[in-house]
Amino acid sequence: MKSKKLSEQIIKTFRSNGFILSEPDVLLDSEYIIQRSGENFRKSMLTFENEDGKVMCLRPDLTVASCIKFLEKKSKSKIYYSGQAYRRSDKKGSDLINDQLGIEILGSKNQLQDDFKVIKTILNSAKKIKSKKIKIKVSDIGLFKKLINSLDMPERWKLRLIRHFWRPTYFDELLDRLDKNSDIDSDTFDTDKKRFYEMKKMDQNKIVAGRSISEILKRFDKKIKDPRSFSEGKQIAKIIRSFLKINCKLTSLDEKLLDFAKKNNLKKNIFKEFKSIKNLKKLNQEIFFITNFGRNIEYYTGLVFEIFAGKKEIARGGRYDDLLKSLGAKKNIPAVGAAINLNNI
Give the model confidence (pLDDT) of 26-47 as tens digits. Answer: 999 888 887 766 566 677 888 8
The neighbouring-strand residues paired with 28 are 57
CATH architecture of 1-106: 2-Layer Sandwich (3.30)
Q: Are 129 and 9 in contact (CB under 8 A)?
A: yes
Angle between helices 4-16 and 111-129 (to 10 degrees): 150
Provide the 8-state DSSP code for 57.
Answer: E
Please tell me the pTM assigned to this model: 0.82
Task: Provide the residue-wise pLDDT of the chain in tens; the chain has 345 residues.
Answer: 446 788 888 999 999 999 999 999 999 988 888 776 656 667 788 888 888 888 999 998 899 999 999 998 877 899 999 999 998 877 676 778 889 999 999 999 899 999 999 999 999 998 877 656 889 999 999 999 999 999 988 888 898 899 899 888 999 999 998 888 766 545 555 666 677 777 788 888 887 766 788 887 777 766 655 545 566 888 999 999 999 999 999 999 999 999 999 999 998 888 887 889 989 999 988 899 999 988 777 889 999 999 998 888 899 999 999 999 988 888 899 999 999 988 887
Displacement of CA 141 from its chain's centroid (Å): 8
Q: Are 100 and 313 in contact (CB under 8 A)?
A: no
| Residue extents of the structural domains in the chain | 1-106, 154-241
